[in-house]
Amino acid sequence: MELQDEATFGLSAEQKLSITKSKGIALQREILKIGY
C-alpha cells in the first residue's frame, strides 16, 4: 500500500481515516499523520 498526503483509507468500507503529511517535531523530517 502506498500512502499519500490528503488520501484516506480504512479497514472497512465505512471507515475513512485521513492521511496528512507534515514536518515532524521529534524526528526533524516529514512524517505522515493518520487521523481518526
Position 4 scores a pLDDT of 77
Q: In tens digits, what is the pLDDT along the chain, a chain of 36 residues?
A: 777 787 888 889 899 889 899 998 888 899 888 888
Cβ atoms of residues 19 and 33 within 8 Å: yes
Residues whose CB falls within 8 Å of the CB of residue 29, separated by 6 or more in sequence, listed in order: 23
Helices and strands, number each (H, E), in the chain: 0, 3
pLDDT at 34: 86
Which letter does DSSP use for residue 22 in this model?
Answer: E
pLDDT, residue 27, reads: 85
User: Quick one: 19 exposed, middle or buried, by C-beta within 10 A (0-12, 13-18, 19+)?
Assistant: middle
